[in-house]
Each structure stands twice: as C-alpha cells, then as structure tokens.
C-alpha cells in the first residue's frame, strides 16, 4: 500500500511534539538545555532536508526514515573527521558553528533524555563500532564515542565470514528482530562500521476498537484505489486544518510521544507539500494546534524500508567525506580513508494497539589501500632506473639510473 503519510522524522518529531505538549500537565518533562535545544533544532532541520532529498530520489514509494538514527551514526563518525571533511559533515548535520565538544555533550544529553522520557513507552537506542582488528585506529576516537555515545567497540577479523553475522546478530537483538540485518557483505576495503539502532514501541493513549476497523478504499497517487484495513475512533486530539492540509497529533502512553500526521488536501500534490516542509514552516504548523473531538480514520500498515543514503548526503553537502580527499585522520592516520556507504533500514507497524518501529543506520568506513590486488606500496628508497618515453610511438627519450638522489 502506498502510504506516504509524511511519517517523516518519525522519532525526532515525536519527541519535539511531546516536549511542547500542554494537554497533560501532570506528565512533567524537564526543560531542554540550550545545547539540547540547538541539537534538536539542528536534527529536525537535517531530518527535513534529508526527507526532502530522499523523496526526490525515491519518487512515488513508501518512505520511512529515522533522522535521529542517521544523525546519531554520523555524529559518531564526525569525531573521526578533520578539516574540511569535518566542516562539511557538521554543515550537513546543521551543526556548523558549535564546537565538537558541544556536539558530543548534546548528543549524550539527548540520549539520556530520550531513554527516560516516558515509562509507558518503550524507547531504546544503542550505538556500536566494529573495526578491522588488524588496522591501527586512534584510541582517542574510540574513547570519545564510548563516553558520549555509549558505543560498544569491538574488533573483528573482517576476512572471517562470521564477522558479518556477528554484526547483524547485534542489530537483530537491538531491534527485537524487526530488522534482522544491515550488512549483506563486508567489502574488502572496509575497515570500520559505525552503527546506530533505535527501537520504539508505544501503545496509543486512546486505543482503537478492533471492531470498528473496516475494509475501506485507500486512494493511490495514480487515481486508482485499493482496499485497506481502516481503523477509526472518536477522540479528543490536537489538530489543525488549513486549505492545503490537515494535521492531527495522536499521542502514545503518557503523551510524551505522539505520531503527527500531515494529510495534504486532494488538490495539493504530496511531493509539492514535502518540498515545502522547511524548518520554519514545520515549526509554524506545530504552533497552530487546537484540541477538540476528532473522528480519525487511519489505515493499518506495515512498512519495511531500506535505502543507501550516499547520494542524498552528497547532495546535501558532505560529498568530500565520500571521496579521495576525505580526511579522517582523527580516526586513523592511514591516508585514503573515506565513507564507503551509509545504509539505512526502518520498520514500522501501525495497528489498533499502537506503533512498533525500529531503525538502523550503518556508516561503512573504507580505505583504498585495502583493495585486493591493487594499491601496492612502492618506496623508491634504493637505487633505481628511470625511463622517459613518448608513449604513442614507444620512443625512449631519456633513460637513467639513480643511485644517489642529489639536490
């Protein structure tokens, strides 16, 4: 079923809505610190930009992203970057202008905040680093990721076929079996994987009655329709209605988490709407809520989604991190280190009881010197012969022997 319901920013926006929720004063949430506000705002802006970029790339497909997961995995990775590579990554993450120490401490604080947000909602977040155990890395990089991201750090023999299974088993465990794997194969040039997982399970504050679920049509982008299991209920919800779209906020648990759904009007193209989802517009839309009895209809659905984010992130400005001029000297002093792939998988199930969702992001760090059969190192540190020739004819123009390279 095509359900591009703008589930976008699934995890971050659930948190933001909950932090500004005034409908449940008994459920107190501590105020965000200035650094937390900054990183949440940056994360939202990054997430909106990423969602727009992926939507342009994916066309008329179901799309489910966890910007928080992507941001967290790249947040660990940026600690290994230096120079213009670090600047481009921070700029893409909307964090340029604040120190790396502030970035790290804000992530740490945000992790602690999210993990303790709502006792009635299951929210789990985990980070791990898996590295080629024959490679030399900077211990300070591991220390930072462990301190601020609580990252599990493990060295593996990447040439052993079991290494892939070890990493995937960790992902499977952290996502409660909803995402069994993230790595299909370990590339010979891979030297490290930085992985974030998120697991979310929340029951609706106001559960849907299963007896009210009916077979009703869902209208597709091409104008046709197909039958879906449509849930419904009458509940006291926050909502907003404009001539261009409706938006409704459906809470989970103690209302610290919620699903905010944007429904463009029938004459408003979904892709045009997404293109207009700037940070300023998004923030303004969330200020326009009012609360009343709402007769809500929402289909049951399950989406399993996978995407390689290289093109989207390159288009957003961090192309240098993927290329020959990448600088990851804070991770390893060996030149030629770069990001090979950023893979992202999500799972979302919505039914009468609530929502179960999971996400994983893997940043595959590679080094060109690991390419099999190539990039042999030759050091001209002893006598050698040289030839200068014209290649098209094969003519030797000069030939010589160097036994002492005098200046």
Tell me the pLDDT tens digit for each residue of 305-318: 999 999 999 999 99
> Residue 202 to residues 88, 128, 340: CA-CA distances in angstroms?
36, 25, 35
Within the chain, which residues score under 50 in pLDDT?
1-27, 374-379, 384, 386-388, 390-393, 395-397, 407
Instruction: Give residues with Cβ within 8 angstroms of 167, minimum separation 6.
Output: 128, 130, 156, 182, 183, 193, 195
Taking each helix axis as running N to C, give the angle between helix 67-78 and helix 100-115, from 0 to 180 degrees, rounded to the nearest 10.
Answer: 140
pLDDT value at position 10? 36
Nearest to 361 by CA among 47, 5, 1: 47
CATH H-level superfamily of 10-204+301-370? Antithrombin, subunit I, domain 2 (3.30.497.10)
Backbone phi, then psi, for 94, in 5-degree steps? 65, 35
Q: Which helix (H) or strand (E) holds 345?
A: strand 337-350
Dihedral sign of CA atoms 274, 280, 283, 284 in order = negative
- Rounded-to-integer distance, Cα 397 and Cα 188, Å: 40
Contact 277, 52 (CB under 8 A): yes
Query: What is the pTM (predicted TM-score) of this model?
Result: 0.86
pLDDT value at position 169? 98
- In 71-132, which ranges are E strands? 121-132
**35 alpha carbon, distance to own chain's centre:** 20
Q: How many of the other CB atoms lie within 10 Å of CB of 314? A: 18
Alpha helices in 203-346 (DSSP H): 270-275, 279-286, 310-313
Nearest to 204 by CA among 247, 180, 243, 236: 236
> Residue 172 to residues 177, 275, 358: CA-CA distances in angstroms?
5, 34, 10
DSSP 360-382: EEEEEEEEGGGSTT--------S
pLDDT value at position 225? 87
pLDDT value at position 4? 40
Q: Which residues are registered as beta bridge partners of 304? A: 347
pLDDT value at position 37? 80
- Rounded-to-integer distance, Cα 319 and Cα 87, Å: 11
pLDDT value at position 188? 92
Dihedral of CA atoms 56, 59, 61, 67 in degrees, nearest 10, equals -10
> Which value, in Å, is the radius of gyration of the alpha carbons in the chain?
25
Domain definitions of the chain by residue range? 10-204+301-370
> Residue 355 to residues 99, 144, 235, 256: CA-CA distances in angstroms?
36, 34, 17, 14
Nearest to 360 by CA among 193, 203, 202, 144: 193
């Amino acid at each position: 079923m095509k359900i591009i319901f703008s589930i976008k920013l699934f995890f971050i926006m659930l948190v933001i809505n909950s932090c500004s929720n005034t409908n449940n004063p008994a459920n107190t949430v501590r105020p965000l610190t200035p650094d937390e506000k900054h990183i949440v705002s940056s994360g939202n802006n990054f997430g909106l930009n990423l969602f727009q970029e992926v939507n342009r790339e994916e066309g008329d497909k179901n799309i489910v992203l966890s910007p928080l997961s992507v941001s967290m995995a790249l947040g660990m990775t940026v600690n290994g970057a230096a120079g213009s590579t670090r600047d481009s990554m921070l700029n893409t993450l909307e964090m340029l202008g604040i120190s790396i120490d502030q970035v790290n401490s804000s992530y740490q604080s945000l992790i602690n905040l999210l993990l303790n947000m709502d006792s009635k909602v299951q929210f789990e977040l985990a980070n791990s680093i898996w590295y080629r155990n024959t490679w030399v890395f900077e211990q300070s990089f591991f220390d930072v990721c462990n301190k601020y991201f609580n990252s599990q750090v493990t060295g593996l023999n990447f040439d052993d076929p079991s290494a892939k299974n070890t990493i995937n088993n960790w992902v499977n465990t952290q996502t409660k079996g909803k995402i069994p794997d993230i790595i299909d194969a370990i590339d010979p040039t891979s030297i490290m994987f930085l992985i974030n997982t998120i697991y979310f399970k929340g029951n609706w504050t106001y559960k849907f009655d299963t007896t009210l679920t009916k077979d009703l049509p869902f209208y597709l982008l091409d104008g046709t329709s197909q039958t879906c299991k449509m849930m419904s209920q009458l509940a006291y919800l926050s909502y907003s209605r404009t001539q261009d779209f409706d938006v409704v906020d459906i809470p989970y648990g103690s209302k610290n988490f919620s699903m905010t759904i944007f429904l463009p009007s029938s004459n408003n193209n979904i892709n045009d709407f997404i293109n207009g989802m700037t940070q300023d517009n998004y923030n303004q839309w969330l200020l326009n809520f009012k609360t009343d009895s709402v007769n809500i209809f929402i289909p049951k659905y399950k989406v399993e989604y996978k995407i390689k984010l290289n093109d989207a992130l390159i288009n957003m400005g961090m192309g240098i991190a993927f290329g020959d001029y990448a600088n990851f000297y804070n991770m390893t002093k060996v030149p030629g280190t770069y990001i090979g792939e950023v893979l992202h998988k999500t799972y979302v199930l919505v039914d009468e009881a609530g929502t179960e969702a999971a996400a994983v992001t893997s940043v595959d760090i590679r080094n060109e010197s690991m390419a099999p059969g190539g990039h042999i190192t030759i050091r001209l540190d002893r006598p050698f012969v040289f030839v200068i020739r014209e290649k098209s004819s094969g003519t030797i123009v000069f030939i010589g022997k160097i036994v002492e390279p005098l200046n």
